Amino acid sequence: MLTAFARAFKTPDLRKKLLFTLGIIVIYRLGAHIPIPGVSYENVQICLDQADTKGGIFGLVNMFSGGALLQITIFALGIMPYITASIILQLLTVVIPRLEALKKEGQSGTAKITQYTRYLTVALAVLQGTGLVATARSGALFSSCPVGSEIVPNQSIFTTVTMVLTMTAGTAVVMWLGELVTDRGIGNGMSILMFISIAAGFPGALWAIKEQGSLADGWIEFGVVILVGLFMVGLVVFVEQAQRRIPVQYAKRMIGRRSYGGTSTYIPLKVNQAGIIPVIFASSLLYIPALVAQFSGSTAGWAQWIEAHFVKGDHPYYLVTYFVLIVFFAFFYVAISFNPEEVADNMKKYGGFIPGIRAGRPTAEYLSYVLNRITWPGSLYLGLIALVPTAALAGFGANQNFPFGGTSILIIVGVGLETVKQIESQLQQRNYEGFLR
């Protein structure tokens, strides 16, 4: 692997792409530490020291922003508005015929959908930025702050508008940086920025495990967590690479004097066909009742019940609901992202068939049957991985945002594998060995 890295940097154009990507990463991390105007940086640091920021309803967004959310920096919203906008557009593509037609137009239609995604990202950034400023002004952003430590000392309309516009502009810059990495870097710009945001919290989280441990000054707990983390990484890599290959045979066709078809290929159906989307859906949905209870300030029974069972994220009710939602959204997302009837029609149009299965409707039914069977283990796997930090590592001071579990490990491994494939394909074009020998 080290030799492959050396050869990658020896190739002029690939070296430029890697250095350009590293430069964008530096800019992105720099912006995650610059506070926005109107925020008292000293009071924010005091509240961070006093508050328990490991969990809570803002934990997921803070993880995706690389810790910039609770620091209230210019990149506080991070990549989350773009992720939400992309998911919404992807869901609307199935519902709105106009978007579905654009998707089928090829590159021009994809460019139009990308433009819509940018507009929706900015709109969501304004909405989320307004919510973050209102939360910071009310003092609900942190679980506890010393008296007199106001996050936003000046609460005028001008200051509020400036803060919202700054965070919205920061989100637009993050989106632009991600597209630059996609166009001029090694590709997958948004995914790489998400990877960097999550990886930035690894050292602090691991050192916190060591500090909270009691056996041999915490080194035993630290070693156990590292071993568990390596095992989970291996498990995620194994499942993410696992797929069911449906064989497809194409009949020979004579068009003029040329013969087409007569080849064999396969349809790869991944065990985890839905990816990380079900975990994000479930997490976002479970944050809604906690946000309503916190912002309402009500002392009614329903608000107290929600705060007791859903805010901290370690109650059995929360865990069971989280698991069920992940399984449900896994089937839901697979159903809208993979259309067996469309695949069967395309196969029939080009003379393809699955050996032993008739073309047309029987092929669609067979694909649907196989997809449902492999989605069950994939959804259960997602649910278990998401619950590992809370259920199995609670004794080490871990939580739902622990680096070696849940959403973070799925994104880290998935983006890492895809990035390695991107660089490996560049090396193979020049007859070099890849990372995996």
- How far, CA to CA in Å, does 303 sit from each of 139, 150, 309, 310? 18, 26, 10, 10
Of all residues in the chain, what percent are helix, strand and coil, respectively (each to 5)? 70, 5, 25
Mean pLDDT for 317-335 is 87
Same domain, 151 and 6: yes
Assess if residue 285 is contained within a domain: yes
* pLDDT of amino acid 55: 47
Q: Which two tokens stand for residue 235?
A: 């498990």
Same domain, 264 and 382: yes
Record the pTM: 0.79
| Long-range contact pairs involving 305-310 (C-beta distance under 8 Å, separation at least 24) | 310/286
Assess if residue 419 is contained within a domain: no
- What percentage of residues in the chain have a pLDDT greater than 70? 80
Assess if residue 252 is contained within a domain: yes
Residues sharing a CB contact under 8 Å with residue 130, sequence separation 6 or more, in sequence order: 164
- Which one of 164, 194, 224 terminates a domain? 194
Checking phi first, is residue 172 left (phi over 0); if not, alpha (psi -120 to 50) or beta? alpha
SS3 of residue 244 by DSSP: strand
Same domain, 40 and 114: yes
Same domain, 81 and 144: yes
* pLDDT of amino acid 374: 92
Assess if residue 209 is contained within a domain: no
Query: pLDDT band at residue 54, thresholds of 50, 70 and 90?
Result: very low
β-strands 264-270, 258-260: how paired? unpaired
Q: Do you know the residue count of the chain?
A: 437
| Lowest-pLDDT choice from 36-50, 135-149, 186-200, 318-332 | 135-149
Q: What is the mean pLDDT of the chain?
A: 80
| Lowest-pLDDT choice from 238-252, 258-272, 338-352 | 258-272
Query: pLDDT band at residue 146, thresholds of 50, 70 and 90?
Result: low
* pLDDT of amino acid 236: 86
pLDDT digits (tens, 9 = 90+) for 413-427: 888 888 888 887 777
Assess if residue 417 is contained within a domain: no
| Lowest-pLDDT choice from 119-123, 294-298, 363-367, 369-373 | 294-298
* pLDDT of amino acid 389: 64
- How far, CA to CA in Å, does 246 sit from each of 363, 366, 395? 11, 10, 44
More confident call, 434 vs 286 = 286
Query: pLDDT band at residue 313, thresholds of 50, 70 and 90?
Result: low
Count CA atoms within 13 Å of residue 153 on its CB side.
10
* pLDDT of amino acid 433: 54
Same domain, 187 and 245: no
- Which one of 132, 163, 194 terminates a domain? 194
Is 80 exceeded by the pLDDT of residue 162? yes
More confident call, 432 vs 54 = 432
Is 80 exceeded by the pLDDT of residue 129? yes
Same domain, 236 and 265: yes
Same domain, 250 and 171: no
Q: Quote the number of domains for the chain.
A: 2
Q: Which two tokens stand for residue 56?
A: 């809570």
Query: pLDDT band at residue 138, thresholds of 50, 70 and 90?
Result: confident
Return the residue matching tokens 């009837």.
341
Read off the DSSP letter of residue 36: P
More confident call, 400 vs 290 = 290
Return the residue matching tokens 């849940």.
406
* pLDDT of amino acid 122: 93
Query: pLDDT band at residue 141, thresholds of 50, 70 and 90?
Result: confident
Same domain, 156 and 220: no
Same domain, 166 and 229: no
The domain of 283 spans 215-404
Same domain, 289 and 340: yes
Assess if residue 271 is contained within a domain: yes
Among candidate residues 347, 359, 284, 329, the one with its CA nearest the CA of residue 124:
284
- Please give the distance of CA 350 from its chain centroid, rounded to a whole number: 36
- What percentage of residues in the chain have a pLDDT greater than 90? 13
Cα gap 342→324, rounded to integer Å? 29
Q: Give the dihedral sign, CA 266/271/277/282.
A: positive
Assess if residue 208 is contained within a domain: no
Mean pLDDT for 387-405 is 57
Same domain, 167 and 273: no
pLDDT digits (tens, 9 = 90+) for 269-294: 888 888 888 887 887 777 777 667 66
Same domain, 168 and 233: no
Mean pLDDT for 102-108 is 82
For 185, phi then psi, to 5°, come to -100, -145
Assess if residue 207 is contained within a domain: no
More confident call, 127 vs 90 = 127
Q: Which two tokens stand for residue 92?
A: 């609307």
CATH number of domain containing 109: 1.10.3370.10
Helices 107-138, 80-95: inter-axial angle, 10-degree rounding: 130
Torsion angle of the four alpha carbons 369, 238, 412, 318, in this order, in degrees rounded to the nearest 10: 60
Cα gap 114→149, rounded to integer Å? 42
143-162 exposure pattern, b = at least 16 Cβ within 10 A, e = fewer = eebeeebbbbeeeeeebbeb
* pLDDT of amino acid 108: 84
H or E element that contains 177: helix 157-184
pLDDT digits (tens, 9 = 90+) for 11-49: 788 888 889 999 999 999 998 888 888 888 887 877 777
Q: Which two tokens stand for residue 389?
A: 């930090």
